Structure 1
Amino acid sequence: MKLTRIAKLRLRVFRDFAWPTELHPFARFNVIYGWNGSGKTTLSWLLSLVEKKATLPEAEGEARLEFDGTTKVAGSAFASAHLPQVRVFNRDFINATLSQTSGIAPIYFLGEDSIEKQARVEQLKQELATIISKLKASEAGKTKAESTLDDFCKGRAKVIKELLTSANSQTYNNYDKRNFKRAVEAMDSQRAAGAVLSDDQKAQLHSQKNAQPKPLVGKVVAPSIELDALTSKVDTLVGRSVVAQTLDELTSNAKLAVWVQEGLHLHSGEHATDTCRFCQQPLQAARRAALEAHFNDAFAGFQKDLSELLSKLNKAKQSVASLSLPDDSRFYEALEHEVSTARAKVLSAKEETEAALDALIARVEAKRDQPFAPITTQEQATANPSSMTDSVAAFNEIVERHNRISQDFTASVNSACEKLEASYVAEAYAEFVRLTDAVKAAATELNVLTAKQAEIKAQIAELERAILDHRRGADELTAELRAYLGRDELRFEVKGTGYALTRGGQYVAHLSDGERTAIAFLYFLKSLQDRAFDLKNGIVVIDDPVSSLDDNALFSAFGYMKDRTKDAGQLFILTHSFSFFRLVKNWFHHLPGQRKKKIEDRPGRFFLLRTRRHTDGSRTSELGHLDPLLEEYESEYQYLFKRVHDEAQRNDVVELEHHYGLPNVARRLLEAFLAFKFPEIRGEGVLYKRLERVDFDGAKKTRILRLLDTYSHADAIPDPEHDLSLLAETQPVLREVLELMEAVDRDHYLGLIKMVAPSSVEEQGEP
């Protein structure tokens, strides 16, 4: 598939180009000659879109290419249309193919893919530097967070150690941050909340911790008092009635009755006598019988019952009175408050019981003294029968706790310490969690950065391996560069993933444009041999590959290019260098079939890019036939002379914009002519200096210099102060340029006339 025509082009300097009907199509080998600014870069860029399968944006312009004489593809369809393989060498390729690092010994990289990878490597290295910087900050942050947490644990452990160290236990003598961390890490928020103690609880536990071992305390034995039963007996006995023949005198006088009853007892039984032992008077039988009737057996039994009950009550009272409690000082300090409270309850119950017994005794004694007296209601002291037992039992529970502490004193101290430790740890739990979370967050950030660092390092290593895989041998590149430039001056050395260049053994820090172009062009020509590109069926486009090369290197470069592109399916060479154009032209002239009459049958074809300038300063480029002088003769100089001669002799009226390009043509012609005549004059203002050496009309020289200096710059737009009427004098000034050349070297001038306008010489009668 071959490119035959550029059917339509509206892009940059091509304002509205359409392929001229009289212009032959492209052939297999094509050379397009044009000065700088004539549109070569635009054409090569357009064809690079075909290479990249990239669409031409509508905002950029419009294009339509014709392939194989029939198929037309719009620029907007480049990305999707079936197109041939294309390889383009131009300034963009140079910039994309060759890059270098800065430094005394810069490293150069070849190939767009390698450069892209190396650029990515450099980008990753910058990212890596940023990551490393962040890593340092993150490590410092993690260290600070860990240090803060560590100081916190140390501080809390120190406080706990000072508070819990005791002569009674060695457990907390060596308490440190590790013990604290184990304790706090075993907690959760719920356990921490449950472990916190009040100040009173902590004070009590501290007392328990600091206490000294004390002897065992005996339990208190509660008196066995059946108060309810005694009360019931008292109620029963006091409520009994005694049947007897009572004597009023004894009934009404209880003391007398007691005295008489005791006397009767002393005069009966083993003490029986008929004489009163008090008055020694005889006891009258009637009196004895009356007294015995008063104090009969029932009364005696009743009295006995009262006496026995009274004895029980007194014994019970003595039993209660004998109840004693151990002193508070015998108990541990932690229990003193409880002991005091329990003691008060026991004593209160004792008092209540004693009061109740006293009340019962009083009732029995009253009945005893007045057995025949009627029952009277008396205020009775009440007592809870179980209060004594319960209060003593409560007191004994404290005794048991005291004894347990004494029996297992170390365990008790340790228990108090453990509860206190749990409380102090629980109080620090929230802050510990906060500081721990800060450490975890710092560690997470550090882990992420570390992983990112490893990932970037792996990417860099992978990219550098890929670059090394595509890197060619330094000796091979050096040999190719020598063959291309025709001199052994620059040498490649492998450096890292790229190359170092030396010139005369010294590292090259800066390459000239010509050297950069040469190295990139070498790489381009080498890439044509890639398996991915079918050279015999592909299109090769080369735009000015010999920029800034001297004549010796130019010939070598051309030979190298010719050898590498001769088998291309289609070749386009664009150049502004006439020397290079001449070499390409000679090559094409010797192609098989190039001498055929019809241009359409020739394998090599020549094209010229012309530029027209407009009064608004803009330019328009057009592609057309190559001028015969450029194709047939060996010098561009002859072509320039023909252009100036034709315009100077022109008789038709043309628009002013037609003259914009002519001052540049005239200047190049005059510079070449004067350089040949006065080669020793160099430096700035060389045109002016050389014109000064010419023996010619001074006014005409001034007009020539003025026009050429003002309007001969290809890309310049005239300054506002420039008089457009001066541009209108272009044709007369061109004639004066020809007059100057004839005046300086008539033979040379006539030789040129014979070449470009032989009829003019014959008319003048020159030989």
Structure 2
Amino acid sequence: MIKQFKYINNLGRFETFKGCPKTALRPLTLVYSENGRGKTTLCALLRSLSTGDPEHLQARKRVSAEKGPHAVVTIDGAERSFDGEKWSGTGPKVLVFDDHFTAANVCSGLEVAAGHRQGLHELVVGEEGVRLQRTVEELTVEISEHQTLLRGKAREIPQETLGAYSLDDFCALAEIDNIDEELQEAGKSASVLRDQEKIRTTGEFTAIAMPTVPSDEVRAVLAKILPDLDAAALAAVSAHFKHLGDKGERWVSEGSQFQVGESCPYCGQETDGVQIVAHYRRYFSDAYAKHKEDIARVRTLVGEAFDGDRLARFQRLVEQARERRGFWVHYIEGLPAFDVDAGALAAAWAGARDALLVALESKSRAPLDRLALDDADEAKLTHYTDFSDRMLALSTALLDMNEAIAAAKEHATHGNLAAAEAQLSRLQATQRRYEPEVAAKCTAYRAAKTAKDAAETKKEDARKALDEHRKNTFGKYQGAINKFLDRFNADFRLEALEPSDPRGIPSSTYALGVNKGRVPLANRKVGPSFSTALSAGDRNTLALALFFATLTERDSLDDVTVVIDDPVSSLDDGRCFATVQEIRKLLGKAKQVIVLSHARPFLCQLWDRADKGATATIELRDVDTDSSTLQPWDAEAAAVTEYDRLYKTVSEYAECSQGDSQVVAPSLRKLLEGYSRVAFVERFPAGCLLGKFIDVARQAERDGTPLLSNERLEELDDLRDYTNQFHHNTSKTWQENLANINETQLKGYAGRVIRFVRGE
């Protein structure tokens, strides 16, 4: 509980105030003050003490003061001091009703602005809702900061690095251990699908083996001789053939076939004993013929194997293989190198061919000579064989790739180019993603993104909790407000009180129910609105209803100090009395209630039924023209009401003629009106004249619902008739009548008025 304002300096109208026991505060503290004496300053002090916000006090620094405001407040034995910048510690929970409350939560003048609806939202949702709202707002700021950081991290990774990927998708790409192999395979796959028609029509590899050299047969033929054909016979025959000319051997050979017995096929003479014929027989024997045939056959074999057309065809096969390899190497992995030198190939081919044919030609000319390939020819054959072996190995390796080519053709026929290119793009992006510099930037970006996502999740959870809390509180709060409006006898209600979030800012909206219609808050050129439907008293009543609803919707007021400043401004007597009743209900519930007002009757009503031992009464008074102080206030003396004063004035004159007759005479009517206004509050409203009330009473009597007995009604009418002569509204000569009062008659009527209000 707040015990005392111990020290106030340079704050509003308080130049230097030092508290004393006589100005100590109690559970109920009533502060009376005329306007402009510092009530608002005290409210600002208490609000700042509760919230810790120094602006409430800094804004009220005395204009003439060089130093800032200072204050010391005693709270349950401890002190809290304000040094011009901050409070020394936390203060108690204080809820303040004043103009600041109205301006923050209800309206400013005739206007309900966005800030008022936001303030009302905070009132409705209470501390828990405000905590959730603050959490949402703080997380919104945090998310904004994360977003700024995130944008900076994003700018560090250029678009060309991202390719077709968004930054988030790019950074989310999983690392692949064998990325280079997969990337190569994906590139081949995509290439296959891009060139479907070429792949479909390009052939597989065919065998490109070089002709096999019949070297063994050649060597055998060259080395073969006929042992039965001696050299002498061969020399004689050869000399004869030479004598016969180039075609001599052929001529003799063909003629020998026609020899029958020992007769010469040419002249018919006997050849028996002719030595040259005997040589011919051995020369043209079957063995010799077979030997020459073998030479010719092998020569033909070599000639056909190394035919020039065949070389050209083989060279075309080699070039075809070279071209196909050049095509398939873009789609197939593992193709062997193709390093065949076309010139070297032709040279090896020609060298082997020429070496064999020349040797066989020599053998043909000397069939019976034992011949052999010389070292140069053997080297040519070895070179050809090596070349052939390499070509065979290359051909075998290429043929082994036909299975992969068939798979590529199948893939080209049934594959999906878009999917393959997407896979290639993904792998290429993955490779870029895990380059060291890019990987570090992605890690930093994802960390910032994770932090932002976490904040967004927290915000969403807080938002859901706030929405649920608002759902549970708004309906109840509207009912609580209308309950108090009913108690204040207001002729309007709050309707459609709902939460709203314009531009993401928690707020509220509502309408006024007036005369069975709904009035909007916004001012309109045509038709009723908040500014035209409510009077000043209505607006203050609405603010009070909001404040009391805020108090009743709290779980407990045990730790709360309630401060109420001038609550009855612009209120009629009925609403003033209702306000007194509601404040009385707070006593014992709230830890402390402090009421400030310039209306002494209002404060006196609170004091009248209060526990005097738990009530402090304080007055704000001028020290000089521009400063104020706190001092004790005699509430008991102030509690003498106007009605009591009138009663005392009239009764003392009736009993002992004490008093001024010119004061007593007009007091008779005022006393009767005061009595009737309290006794018949519903039939005698403020501003009603006594004569009007008597007419109402007579009508009630005719309706069978009499307000007074006939005797008392007649007495009241007589008393009214007498007092009219002293009332300015009912007598033009009231001043003259006051100057010529019959005091004996006045004393008699004074007694009758006293007996009437006593009910005698």
**How high is the TM-score relative to the length of structure 1?**
0.49
